[in-house]
Amino acid sequence: MKKNIVLFVLFVLPIVAYLFFASGVNSFTKLPIITPKVADFGNWKSLKNEKVSLDNKITILGFSGTNILKNRGNFFNLNAKIYQRYHEFKDLQFVVICPLGTQGDAQTIIDALSASTDVSQWHFVFTSPDEIKTYYDQLKLVGNLDSDFGTPNVYIVDKERNLRGRKEKKGYKEGYNTFHPAELSNEMLDDFKVILYEYRAALKKNHNATKKL
């Protein structure tokens, strides 16, 4: 009996503990809604002159500012840590809001990313600095855009256009800093998995309900 207990403590218990912590504490709850029903993009056009919408898409939302090329490392971090892992998920899009006049710089970023990535779910959309500020303000975030109308942070918006984040001791974590790869690999990846789990669970539930009918 004692031998079995010792074996359990030495071998089974560490495995159980590992699985618990590896799954992430945050993955056992839904991500809170920070801002409900954020506005859609209106008639802003992408590099391909297409209209992009938040509706029915899980969106990773960013604000480039005017210094797109100066901050290009942030896009490569986000691409490597999140986009490349999940870009085959068709209900996902990465949308970057950019000031008018930066189309050429945005195209340079897309061309660089396309060398190693299918960039079909990257969308750079363009509007005036005033509209960018107005749009950002309605997100009701704690932080502000910088003087170039950008931020290194990106945000998770669900299919119902709710901005989501995680509960923390001092409030809520609203965005994820693309300048820090570790933050993307840990906190953002963990939270993004929660969002995917929510939708997969909902699809499974609806599928089962349909089968019963």
pLDDT of residue 168: 83
Percent of the chain with pLDDT over 90: 69
Token readout for 17 is: 């503990």
Q: Is the pTM of this model over 0.75?
A: yes
pLDDT of residue 30: 82
Indicate left, alpha or beta for 83 from its phi (over 0: left) and psi (-120 to 50: alpha). Answer: alpha
200 pLDDT higher than 90: no
The model's confidence at residue 164, banded by pLDDT at 50, 70 and 90, is very high
Helical H segments across the chain, by residue range: 2-7, 13-22, 72-78, 84-86, 103-113, 129-137, 181-183, 189-212
CA distances from 207 to 195, 198, 202, 204, 213 (A): 18, 14, 8, 5, 10
Condensed to tens digits (0 to 9), the pLDDT of residues 132-163 reads: 999 999 999 988 999 999 999 999 999 999 99
Give the start-to-end residue ranges of the domains of the chain: 31-212
pLDDT of residue 127: 97
Q: Indicate the average pLDDT of the chain.
A: 86
Condensed to tens digits (0 to 9), the pLDDT of residues 52-73 reads: 999 999 999 999 999 999 999 9
The model's confidence at residue 42, banded by pLDDT at 50, 70 and 90, is confident
**What is the CATH architecture assignment of 31-212?**
3-Layer(aba) Sandwich (3.40)
pLDDT of residue 61: 98
Mean pLDDT over residues 23-36, rounded?
Answer: 69
Residues 6+ apart with CB under 8 A from 150: 63, 64, 65, 66, 67, 71
pLDDT of residue 172: 86
pLDDT of residue 15: 56
Condensed to tens digits (0 to 9), the pLDDT of residues 172-186 reads: 889 999 999 999 999
10 pLDDT higher than 90: no
Condensed to tens digits (0 to 9), the pLDDT of residues 110-140 reads: 999 999 899 999 999 999 999 999 999 999 9
